[in-house]
Amino acid sequence: MMEHLLIAPVVLPALVAPFIIMAVRHHLDLQRIFSLASVVLLAAVSLTLAAQALDGTVKVYELGDWPAPFGIVLVLDRLSAMMIVLTSLLALPVLLYAIGSGWDTRGANFHALFQFQLMGIMGAFLTGDAFNLFVFFEVLLIASYGLMIHSGGTRRFQAGVQYVVFNLLGSTLFLFALGTLYSVTGTLNMADLAVKVAQIPAEDTALLRVGAVMLLLVFAIKASLLPLHFWLPSAYANAPMPVAALFAIMTKVGAYSILRMYTLIFGPDVEATAGLTEAWLLPAALLTLGAGAVGVLGSKKLGRLAAFGAIASMGTLLIAISLFTQTAAAAALYYLVHSTLAAALLFLVADLVMERQGQWILPQMPMPQTGLISALFFAAAIALAGMPPLSGFLGKLLVLDATRGVDLAPWIWAVILAGSLTTIIGMARAGSLLFWKGHGLPPQDTDTSAEPPQEDLAARSAQLPFVACFGLLGGLVALTVFAGPATRYAEATAAQLYAPAAYIDTVLGRTQE
């Protein structure tokens, strides 16, 4: 029974979602209950699996009991365990927020799509098969299309079309990449790919290198690496903010895939693909951070501010990943957890503000609960910018520390520090416009105070959104307080990533005999 627990993170939402659509379609309360129960159960399952993976063993689940290179496998190692725990712990506050703020009532099937989205994300983190990774990408994308245009509106639809077209092109590129890899190696199992790629003679690798770069491009689209990031700002800024908060984990799916593929299959000591990515991935990541920071500074709307904040944090993460060393990977993993929580918190706080006074960053009359919201905005801003009290500072310190001995280290230091400064200025500008300047305005009782949001807000359960925000903030604080154990876990995970032999042997069943 216990060995089947490994597939539960995929099966559970996959069962709950159709149940919500078919059985409790017209009962919003029941939908909320089942959706919440599913997420809580998912968190429990993920934590159990993480406890199993804690000692460094790699667990394999063979679907249909077909042995590894022939059947599809799910693989649980420390990295996968960390990612599914992060996903379920992110999903819980986001779902609470969506329920508390009433976002789930503004369109049909929010909860079912939410569950399908979780299914896709969990599957992408757990699978050990490259084509299956594509399938789970599609599952999470098709659910995200529905979530992105949830509750409709002209601009949201237009942004949705762009988002869908961009990602469909990305999916096609993914298929081209997988086809190329298959034609060279004859396999799509990741562990088997790793073995086959290492055996290919050096003069025969042209096609393989093409496939590897195309695969990296696909993941770069998902991770919003700079020249391929254009889908992100308008998609995230126009999506419902709780959905954008959940999407904070989707860019990390891209980062995870880069980390997985380029340590396991195209690792640093694989001759065939050596020197393929180092030359341009790091500069692109630096530019990503720069563009994100400048975007934060220049945003006129709160949604775009949060979206560019997410891009800046992806830039820092990708800098750490693109160094491709073990210490840098450990720093990247710590920063990954932090940036997911921080970006989600910023999106939720942005929604709190937007629900009360609209999406423009302009001085306006003080809104209800302005003290609490401005405190939360302050916390989210210092978290995302990487200021001392919260874990962003530690994460950036780890990344800076990991650049020792790298040629481009001065550039990395300069860009990360200047990017942080620019982000802080941008956040401070937005915060002071939103929360301080309003107090100086002459009182006006035209259309702003007579708007319905006031009684709307009172009617809704006003506590739950704050519970959700403080939950995410609590996660950030916990990540700071328990930074020691967290970095030790990240270091052990990175060590496991850079010693892929155990992973390969377990998946291919070589150690059982």
Half-sphere exposure of 418 (CA within 13 A, CB side): 13
> How far is Cα 327 from Cα 37, in angstroms, rounded to an integer?
38
> How far is Cα 286 from Cα 84, in angstroms, rounded to an integer?
28
Does residue 368 bind another protein (CB under 8 A)?
A: no
> How far is Cα 90 from Cα 140, in angstroms, rounded to an integer?
16
Does residue 138 bind another protein (CB under 8 A)?
A: yes
Q: Quick one: which segment of 22-30, 58-66, 154-162, 499-507 binds another protein (CB under 8 A)?
A: 154-162
**Which of residues 169 and 481 has its CB atom nearest to another protein in the complex?**
169
CB 338 within 8 A of CB 320: no
**Which of residues 357 and 374 has its CB atom nearest to another protein in the complex?**
357
CB 229 within 8 A of CB 311: yes
CB 97 within 8 A of CB 35: no
**Which of residues 152 and 389 has its CB atom nearest to another protein in the complex?**
152
**Which of residues 38 and 364 has its CB atom nearest to another protein in the complex?**
364
Does residue 217 bind another protein (CB under 8 A)?
A: no
Shortest distance, position 155 Cβ to another protein, whole Å: 8
- The binding track of 283-302 with respect to another protein, each residue x by CB under 8 A or -, is -----------------x--
Token pair listed for 349: 């706080």
Choose among 511, 510, 502, 505: nearest CA to 78.
502
- Total residues contacting another protein by CB under 8 A comes to 37
**Which of residues 56 and 298 has its CB atom nearest to another protein in the complex?**
298
Does residue 364 bind another protein (CB under 8 A)?
A: yes
Q: CB neighbours (10 Å) of residue 481?
A: 11
Contact with another protein (CB under 8 A) among 19, 145, 411, 470: 145
> How far is Cα 7 from Cα 307, in angstroms, rounded to an integer?
33
**Which of residues 232 and 384 has its CB atom nearest to another protein in the complex?**
232
Does residue 106 bind another protein (CB under 8 A)?
A: no
Shortest distance, position 292 Cβ to another protein, whole Å: 19
Choose among 195, 175, 172: nearest CA to 185.
195
Shortest distance, position 20 Cβ to another protein, whole Å: 19
Does residue 243 bind another protein (CB under 8 A)?
A: no
Does residue 496 bind another protein (CB under 8 A)?
A: no
Contact with another protein (CB under 8 A) among 168, 414, 462, 478: 168
Q: CB neighbours (10 Å) of residue 23?
A: 12
**Which of residues 283 and 368 has its CB atom nearest to another protein in the complex?**
368
Shortest distance, position 143 Cβ to another protein, whole Å: 10
Does residue 453 bind another protein (CB under 8 A)?
A: no
Choose among 201, 214, 203, 127: nearest CA to 172.
214
Q: Quick one: which segment of 77-85, 168-176, 335-343, 505-513 binds another protein (CB under 8 A)?
A: 168-176
Q: Quick one: which segment of 144-152, 249-257, 428-436, 467-475 binds another protein (CB under 8 A)?
A: 144-152
> How far is Cα 367 from Cα 438, in angstroms, rounded to an integer?
9
Does residue 240 bind another protein (CB under 8 A)?
A: no
| Site for another protein, residues 67 to 96, rule: CB under 8 A | none
Ranges of H-type helices in 56-153:
78-101, 110-126, 130-148
Does residue 40 bind another protein (CB under 8 A)?
A: no
> How far is Cα 355 from Cα 363, in angstroms, rounded to an integer?
15
Element containing residue 75 per DSSP (H, E): strand 73-76
- The binding track of 169-208 with respect to another protein, each residue x by CB under 8 A or -, is x-xx--xx-xxx-xx-------------------------
SS3 annotation, 362-428: CCCCCCCCHHHHHHHHHHHHHHHHCCCCCHHHHHHHHHHHHCCCCCCHHHHHHHHHHHHHHHHHHHH
**Those residues with Cβ within 8 angstroms of residue 346's Cβ, 6 or more apart along the chain or in another chain:** 306, 309, 310, 380, 381, 383, 384
Shortest distance, position 187 Cβ to another protein, whole Å: 9
Does residue 321 bind another protein (CB under 8 A)?
A: no
Contact with another protein (CB under 8 A) among 63, 142, 200, 210: 142
Cα dist. 318→224, 404, 511 in Å? 10, 17, 34
Q: Quick one: which segment of 77-85, 218-226, 354-362, 424-432 binds another protein (CB under 8 A)?
A: 354-362
Residues at the site binding another protein, with contacts judged by CB under 8 A: 131, 135, 138, 142, 145-146, 149, 152-155, 157-162, 164-165, 168-169, 171-172, 175-176, 178-180, 182-183, 234, 300, 358-360, 362, 364
